[in-house]
Amino acid sequence: MIPLLIDCDPGHDDSMAILYAARHFELRGLTTVFGNSIVENTTRNALKICELAGLDIPVAGGIGAPLVGSFAPSMIHGASGLDGADLPEPKRRPVDLHAVTMIIEAAKKAEGELVLAAIGPLTNVAVALRTEPRLARWLKCITIMGGSLDIGNAAPYAEANILKDPEAAAAVFSSDAEIYLAGLNFTRQAILDRSHAEMLRQAGGAVPETVAGMLDFYLGRNEARYGKPISPMHDPSAFVPFVRPDLVEHKPFHIQVELASPLLRGMTVADQRNVTRRPDEPEPPRANVKAGIRMDGPAATRHVIETIASYGRG
Amino acid sequence: MTRYIIDCDPGHDDAMAILYAAKHLDVVGLTTVAGNSSLENSTRNALAICTLAGLRLPVAPGLGRALIEPPLDGAYVHGITGIDGADLPAPGYDPLDRHAVDFIIETAKAAPGELSLIAIGPLSNVALALRLEPRLAGWLKSIAIMGGSTTSGNRTPYAEFNIVCDPEAAAIVFGAGVPLSMVGLNVTRQVGIAERHIARLREGGGRVSAVMADLLAFYLAKMQERYGTPTAAMHDPCAVIPLVKPGLITFQPLPVHIELGEGPLRGMTACDSRPMRRDHDQPGASRPANCDVAVAVDGEACVDAVIDTILGYDRP
């Protein structure tokens, strides 16, 4: 199994992603960052998920604010960052190690084999890459849930994870790491609805029932906000390509992050038609990201829900 | 009845738009602007196209450069004359001795509420007219724009040529409060001129159709060379088609912002295509819609409508 470290901000879809990934990868730990909630909450939520699923892995708390500017938590995940899941206070404690250190050490130890998944703002990852310049080489790759090749969510063109720390995203995209991107254009192809919550409830057991509750909460929020009880399967979509490559298609792009424009800040700018390649101009810049462009959504959501259902009553 | 001025920079697809509009709408004149080529070329080409088709529309020359942006050159698509590829006749009449901006203002003032603009080049003339005569925004019935994109661009990854030629002018027009419609690359790319359309014009046998066939053959070859696609996007007529055949292009009211920053997104028409977020006090909420943006098209029907119209010039 592929060794994996997840940098996350749980978060409902983070929780699903962690539970899904733990069954398909050799999960070596979680590092937390601000994002769906303040970092104190995301760390506590990560511990709760581990406790719920009996995952005996280290959790390291990380950075609580973006590189530039400040952080104002949104309420889409509720006050705790994980409302709707009635999980007890965790008995486990975070390890006495900073998230950034854990990322660097895990990558070094895995000798080129570690996949780093980043499903929150990219602050920890950016700081790790800049602190240890060899990290980009030590990692097998970074798989990111963030950005979009078309429409945004938190802003007309910007996705929330990138928008929460655009400078960190720019640092990561300009590193030499191999990067896979699950942007909104990709995650919107996999739609979760109430039938998935029902499937989990049918399976029974603490993990599936808890995830069903989270899904109910999240779908209800989306219904109140956008009018429909559906949600793209954001964070798990960063992992599916490694488990079921048959369900997805990726394409290389040169992607930059817009930092200046007030309206477009946080946009992942991709030259999708290679229009910069003209006889009178230099070659287009090297592709730095393999971005998901197509996914068999129904098959991918079924596969993820079945994995979580497999925790069953055990 | 609504009257129209076409503000243009002919241009192969401008020529099609002019011929198409003149057959179906009350076009009272053309104003020219630098864009695909220099102002001198745009003006001469406008006169030459009208001469070819026996139209004798008044042509008022306008701005030879953008407000701020240094001139871009569209020769890589349209050739050095701005309309290479055919033997156009020499202009059979002179341009008006009046500036495009004055022509727009005076025509609008003469019958407030009855004039609409069809803007298929950079928006420099339209923007200056709006700033020179603040009442113009209230006098104009509407402005139909070919420009921008809800998706990717052509001159740069996100910016379309007409808008990126003069982004500040576009920002003025999109902020003017005049009812606006915008047909951008996301739609015009689905309206493809193919070899078979050129063959239809040649089979028509007349002079106008034959010259247009030569022009389109040049344009198609340039586009194939540049993009490797089997068809060439019929950009400019798409601003006119909805005024003649309202069903062929579908519009959606959207908030459109013109990006003016110096970065790689300069000239982008940033359209907020998300489901409308009406929580206006929240960060990330949608702004009010300021433009009807084209989002879907029956491409084949659009090309056929224009080709049929051009063939009509050669029938007695």
A-to-B residue pairs, Cβ atoms closer than 8 angstroms? 65
Residue by residue, pLDDT tens for chain B (316 residues) are: 899 999 999 999 999 999 999 999 999 999 999 999 999 999 999 999 999 999 999 999 999 999 988 888 888 889 999 999 999 999 999 999 999 999 999 999 999 999 999 999 999 999 999 999 999 999 999 999 999 999 999 999 999 999 999 999 999 999 999 999 999 999 999 999 999 999 999 999 899 999 999 999 999 999 999 888 899 999 999 999 999 999 999 999 999 999 999 888 999 999 999 987 766 566 778 889 999 999 999 999 999 999 999 999 998 7
DSSP run (H or E) holding A73: none
Q: Which residue of A has its CA nearest to B255?
A: A156
CB within 8 Å: A269 and B157? yes
| A 185-244: CB under 8 A from B | 226-227
pLDDT in tens, A289-303: 999 999 999 999 999
Residue A199: closest CA among A215, A189, A212: A212
CB within 8 Å: B274 and A276? no
Tokens found for residue A229:
């009880």
Distance from the A192 Cα atom to the nearest Cα atom in chain B, whole angstroms: 18
DSSP, residue by residue, A132-148: -TTHHHHSSEEEEE---
Examine the pLDDT at A176 and tell me if it is beyond 70.
Answer: yes
Whether B14 is a known active-site residue: answer: no
CB within 8 Å: A278 and B76? yes
CB within 8 Å: B264 and A269? yes
**Cα–Cα–Cα angle for B95, B84, B36, rounded to 5 degrees:** 65
Other C-beta atoms lying within 10 Å of the C-beta of residue B305 = 18
Question: What residues have CB less than 8 Å from B166, skipping those under 6 apart?
Answer: B66, B67, B68, B69, B122, B123, B124, B127
CB within 8 Å: A264 and B152? no
Cis before B184? omega within 30 = no
Distance from the B126 Cα atom to the nearest Cα atom in chain A, whole angstroms: 25
Task: Note the maximum CA span of chain B.
Answer: 62
CB within 8 Å: B274 and A153? yes
> What average pLDDT is seen over chain A?
93
Ramachandran region, residue B27 (left: φ > 0; alpha: ψ -120 to 50; beta: rest): beta
Say yes or no: A111 contacts chain B, CB-CB below 8 A.
Answer: no
List the single residue in B157, B268, B284 with the smallest CB-CB distance to A154: B284
CB within 8 Å: B265 and A267? yes
pLDDT class for A19, splitting at 50, 70, 90?
very high
Phi and psi at residue A86, in whole multiples of 5°?
A: -90, 75
Examine the pLDDT at A121 and tell me if it is beyond 90.
Answer: yes
pLDDT in tens, A34-53: 999 999 999 999 999 999 99
Task: Please tell me the predicted confidence (pLDDT) of residue B130.
Answer: 94
Give how far the C-alpha of residue A287 lies from the chain's centroid of Cα atoms, to the nearest Å. 21
CB within 8 Å: A226 and B151? no
List the single residue in A152, A263, A280 with the smallest CB-CB distance to B274: A152
Task: Please tell me the predicted confidence (pLDDT) of residue A72.
Answer: 83
List the single residue in A72, A256, A280 with the smallest CB-CB distance to B264: A256
Task: Please tell me the predicted confidence (pLDDT) of residue B279.
Answer: 64
Q: Which of B259, B276, B291 to mutate to test the interface with A (most CBs of A within 10 A)?
A: B259
pLDDT in tens, A224-249: 988 899 999 999 999 999 999 999 99
Set of chain B residues whose Cβ sits within 8 Å of the Cβ of A155: 284
Say yes or no: B151 contacts chain A, CB-CB below 8 A.
Answer: yes
Please pick, among A98, A234, A250, A303, the residue that the annotation labels catalytic: A234
Examine the pLDDT at A90 and tell me if it is beyond 70.
Answer: yes
Gap between the Cα atoms of B248 and B20, Å rounded: 15
The strand pairing partners of B254, in sequence order, are B291
Indicate the Cα dihedral angle B50, B56, B58, B59, nearest 10°: 30
Gap between the Cα atoms of A75 and A41, Å rounded: 13
Examine the pLDDT at A250 and tell me if it is beyond 70.
Answer: yes
pLDDT class for A4, splitting at 50, 70, 90?
very high
Contact between residue B148 and residue A263 where contact means Cβ atoms under 8 Å apart: no
pLDDT class for A284, splitting at 50, 70, 90?
low
Set of chain A residues whose Cβ sits within 8 Å of the Cβ of B76: 278, 280
Please pick, among B9, B166, B214, B292, the residue that the annotation labels catalytic: B9
| B 200-259: CB under 8 A from A | 226-227, 255, 257, 259
Gap between the Cα atoms of A47 and A50, Å rounded: 5
What does the DSSP 8-state code read for residue A112? Answer: T
Distance from the A153 Cα atom to the nearest Cα atom in chain B, whole angstroms: 7
List the single residue in A153, A155, A258 with the smallest CB-CB distance to B265: A258
CB within 8 Å: A269 and B76? no
CB within 8 Å: B226 and A278? yes
Gap between the Cα atoms of B188 and B299, Å rounded: 8
List the single residue in B262, B270, B286 with the smallest CB-CB distance to A157: B270
Tokens found for residue A212:
């069903």
Phi and psi at residue A119, in whole multiples of 5°?
A: -120, 20
Say yes or no: A155 contacts chain B, CB-CB below 8 A.
Answer: yes
pLDDT in tens, A191-218: 999 999 999 999 999 999 999 999 999 8
Gap between the Cα atoms of B230 and B223, Å rounded: 9
Q: Which of B73, B154, B185, B268 to mutate to test the interface with A (most CBs of A within 10 A)?
A: B268
Tell me the percentage of chain B whose pLDDT exceeds 70.
98
Gap between the Cα atoms of B166 and A199, Å rounded: 55
pTM over 0.95: no
Task: Please tell me the predicted confidence (pLDDT) of residue B281.
Answer: 62
CB within 8 Å: A260 and B261? yes
Ramachandran region, residue B142 (left: φ > 0; alpha: ψ -120 to 50; beta: rest): beta
Tokens found for residue A29:
């730990």
Contact between residue A170 and residue A257 where contact means Cβ atoms under 8 Å apart: yes
What does the DSSP 8-state code read for residue B154? Answer: S
* CB-based burial label for B231 (10 Å; 0-12, 13-18, 19+): buried
CB within 8 Å: A263 and B151? no
Say yes or no: A273 contacts chain B, CB-CB below 8 A.
Answer: yes
Set of chain B residues whose Cβ sits within 8 Å of the Cβ of A258: 263-265
Say yes or no: A285 contacts chain B, CB-CB below 8 A.
Answer: no
List the single residue in A156, A263, A272 with the smallest CB-CB distance to B152: A272
CB within 8 Å: B152 and A155? no
